[in-house]
Amino acid sequence: MCRKINTFKRNSFLFILFFSVLSLASLKGLANGYEPVEHPAAATPEAAANFDPGKLITEHIADGYGWHIAGEGQNAIAMPLPIILYSKERGLDVFLSNKFDHGHSTYNGYKLEGNHIVAVNEMDEMNSHLATVNEELTAHLWDISITKNVFALLLSAFILLWMFLTVAKAYKKGSNKAPKGLQSFVEPMIMFVRDDVAKNSIGPKYEKFMPYLLTVFFFIFINNLLGLVPLIPGCGANLTGNIAVCLVLAGLTLLITLINSNGHYWRHIFAMPGVPIPVLIILTPIEILGVVLRPFVLMIRLFANITAGHIIGLAFFSLIFIFGQMSTGAGYGASVVSVLFTVFMGLMELLVAFLQAYVFTLLSAIYIGSAIEEGHHDDHHHAENSKIDLV
């Protein structure tokens, strides 16, 4: 047992050290690769010297059609992603995102406006003077592109499959051997979710919901970690900071809770035993509203904490370049405090990465456990049992 604990501590320390160093290095590359001007042709020394932290932070936490890694202009290192568009009038169009030049160029009758793709006419324009046909093209445009968040989702799914299949294969080969490698890192987390989350919150029927709870826990945890390393393609996508992803996860918890709920659960929602009818008139709507608000709280908690962590970390790092615009000395002076705070926030985000995965899994287990909990015996039944015991 001591050997398992020591191995887990060693792997955890190396894991934290790796992500801390890589996160700091990636932030430096992200700042160096920031391009404040919208088009290379409009670049000037004065414009290039201006650093916009708001744009840097927004581009990091928002979704996008391409993956900028480092550099700027013609020397930029970026990974284009496939754009897949379909309209009834034009049919299917598939091309890479590098066909668009910083949102100003058009390709094959489409133009990138911010984070949206619109159809344009032969003059590469879309305004109030366009024909009704072009408006219908835009209205009926289906965008199923592989964006930055979609690519991160596929990458995390691949990592999860590889992780679980590797660990399962190791258990099949030697079930009586001490875990090692990836198995020694994953096993304590699996046992933690099983013993401290599922069993305590759900009860004897916990095994039925273990696949979902483990999937949610590791999915959130892995994507939280990937969001801390923006330099690597497929990482830094802020997937768990996307409100749509959080909504789907919370919706799955709500769906599983409602499907497995029993009559005792709904009786306590609509008419709590022993509560006077005038009080039920007020209490029942609140309980019904609580059924929907619980997953809503799950969604907001995960979204707000992950997004806020990214914003604060990048804001501290941006102070170096903000003070550097004033003077070189101020930039170097601010860099000491800024880097310390950035490293501290990176370590805090590592904690939050695990904590938010744990909180989401725990609350999901509590909601499921309350829905499948068996009803207690009523007072009359307890009284009868008491009489039998006395006899």
Give the mean pLDDT of 344-349. 84
Indicate whether 284 and 139 sit together in one domain. Answer: no
Indicate whether 260 and 226 sit together in one domain. Answer: yes
On whether residue 57 sits in a domain, the answer given is no
**pLDDT per position as a tens digit, 177-216:** 777 778 888 888 999 999 999 999 998 889 999 999 999 9
Q: Which of 116, 145, 174 marks a domain boundary?
A: 145
**pLDDT per position as a tens digit, 277-327:** 888 888 888 888 888 888 899 999 999 998 888 888 888 878 888 888 787
Model pLDDT, residue 43:
38
On whether residue 331 sits in a domain, the answer given is yes
Model pLDDT, residue 33:
41
Residue 280 · residue 391 · CB < 8 Å: no
Give whichever of 18-27, 52-61, 71-80, 84-93 has the largest mean pLDDT: 84-93
Indicate whether 138 and 157 sit together in one domain. Answer: no
Backbone angles phi, psi at 205, to 5 degrees: -95, 25
**Residue with tokens 């749509």, as numbered in its chain:** 244
Indicate whether 338 and 357 sit together in one domain. Answer: yes
**pLDDT per position as a tens digit, 227-240:** 887 655 555 678 88
Give the mean pLDDT of 72-91. 75
Q: Which of 92, 115, 145 marks a domain boundary?
A: 145
Model pLDDT, residue 124:
55
On whether residue 64 sits in a domain, the answer given is no
Alpha-carbon distance of 238 to 226, in angstroms, equals: 8
Residue 82: beta bridge partners? Answer: 96
On whether residue 28 sits in a domain, the answer given is no
Residue 156 · residue 357 · CB < 8 Å: no
Higher local confidence (pLDDT), 47 or 162: 162
SS3 61: helix
Residues 6+ apart with CB under 8 A from 314: 27, 53, 56, 57, 60
Higher local confidence (pLDDT), 190 or 271: 190
On whether residue 55 sits in a domain, the answer given is no
Lowest-pLDDT choice from 109-123, 148-162, 248-262, 361-375: 109-123
**Chain centre distance of CA 26:** 19
Q: Please give the residue range of the domain that contains residue 260.
A: 149-372
Indicate whether 165 and 255 sit together in one domain. Answer: yes
Q: Letter for the amino acid at 287?
A: E
Which percentage of the chain shows pLDDT scores above 70? 71
Indicate whether 225 and 98 sit together in one domain. Answer: no
Record the tokens describing residue 28, joined without a space: 């430096």
Residue 26 · residue 236 · CB < 8 Å: yes
pTM: 0.75
Indicate whether 120 and 167 sit together in one domain. Answer: no
On whether residue 383 sits in a domain, the answer given is no
Indicate whether 135 and 166 sit together in one domain. Answer: no
Alpha-carbon distance of 118 to 110, in angstroms, equals: 6
Which percentage of the chain shows pLDDT scores above 90? 19
Give the mean pLDDT of 254-259. 93
Residue 179 · residue 170 · CB < 8 Å: yes
Residue of 225, 255, 223, 257 lying closest to 242 (CA atoms) = 223
Indicate whether 137 and 161 sit together in one domain. Answer: no
On whether residue 135 sits in a domain, the answer given is yes
Indicate whether 309 and 181 sit together in one domain. Answer: yes
Indicate whether 139 and 153 sit together in one domain. Answer: no
- How many independent structural domains does the chain possess? 2
On whether residue 59 sits in a domain, the answer given is no
Indicate whether 231 and 358 sit together in one domain. Answer: yes
Residue 302 · residue 220 · CB < 8 Å: yes
DSSP category for residue 62: S
SS3 113: strand
